[in-house]
Chain A
Amino acid sequence: MSATTQSPTAPDSRAPSKARRLLGDQRLPVAATALLFLVMYGVGLSRYQYYGFAEPQVFLNLFIDNGYLLVAAVGATFVILSGGIDLSVGSMMGFTTMFTAWLVERQGVPLPLVIPMALGVGAFGGFLMGYVIQNFEIQPFIVTLAGLFLFRGLCLVISKESISISDASVSSMADAQVSLGVGFLSIGAIVALVVLAVAFYVLHYTRFGRRVYAIGGNEHSAMLMGLPQGGTKIAVYTVSGFCSALAGLLFTLYIQSGDPLHATGMELDAIAAVVIGGTLLTGGSGYVLGTLFGVLVLGLIKSIIQFEGTLSSWWTKIATGVLLCVFILVQRIMTARKRT
Chain B
Amino acid sequence: MTTSSRWRALTQHHLFWPVAVLVLLLLVNVPFTPDFFSVRMSGGHLYGSLVSIVLFGSPLILVAVGMTLVIATGGIDLSVGAVVAITGALACSYISHQADQNALSGVLLAMGLGLLAAVVCGLWNGFLVARMGIQPIIATLIIMVAGRGVAQLISGGQIITVNSDPYKLIGGGYWLTLPFSIFVVAVVVAVTVALTRRTALGLLVESVGGNAEASRLVGIRSRRIKIMVYVFCALCAGIAGLMISSNTSAADGNNAGLWIELDAILAVVIGGTSLLGGRFSVGGTVVGALVIQTLTTTIYTIGVPTQTNLVFKAAVVIVVCLLQSPKFRARLFGARFGGKGSATPAAAPADTAAAADAAPKMEVS
Contact = CB atoms under 8 A, between A and B. Distances in A.
Chain B associates with chain A: yes
Interface of A: 85, 132, 135-139, 141-143, 145-150, 152-154, 156-157, 160, 218-220, 223, 260, 268, 271-272, 275, 281-282, 312-318, 320-322, 324-325, 328-329, 332, 336
Interface residues of B, number: 57
17 contacts: A85-B137, A136-B322, A138-B322, A142-B265, A142-B321, A143-B318, A152-B310, A153-B307, A220-B358, A268-B144, A282-B365, A314-B149, A314-B152, A318-B153, A320-B146, A322-B146, A328-B139
A328 B136 CA distance: 11
Interface string B291-311: 000000000000001011111
B325 A138 contact: yes
Given A153-B313, A325-B142, 17 more contacts: A136-B327, A137-B327, A137-B350, A146-B317, A146-B321, A147-B314, A148-B314, A149-B317, A153-B310, A156-B310, A157-B311, A272-B141, A282-B365, A314-B152, A324-B141, A328-B139, A328-B142
Nearest to B157: A312
A268 B137 contact: no
Given A156-B308, A317-B149, A324-B141, A150 B354 contact: no
Contacts, number: 145
Interface in B216-233: none
Interface stretch (B10-18, B29-37, B127-135, B234-242): B127-135
Nearest to B328: A136
Interface string B125-165: 00010001111011101111111111011000100000000
Contact of B355 (A145, A223, A317, A318): A223
A314 B307 contact: no
B266 interface: yes
Given A149-B317, A153-B313, A332-B132, A312 B152 contact: yes
B100 to A, nearest CB: 30
A218 B134 contact: no
B262 A272 contact: no
A138 B137 CA distance: 17
B317 A220 contact: no
A321 B147 contact: yes
B328 A314 contact: no
Interface of B: 76, 128, 132-135, 137-139, 141-150, 152-153, 157, 253, 262, 265-266, 269, 275-276, 305, 307-315, 317-318, 321-322, 324-328, 350-351, 354-356, 358-359, 362, 365
A147 B365 CA distance: 27
Nearest to A217: B362
B147 to A, nearest CB: 7
Given A132-B318, A153-B313, A328-B139, A321 B146 contact: yes
A153 B309 contact: yes
A219 B239 CA distance: 40
A194 B253 CA distance: 38
Contact of B275 (A141, A146, A223): A141
B163 to A, nearest CB: 25
Nearest to A283: B362
Contacts of A149: 262, 310-311, 313-314, 317
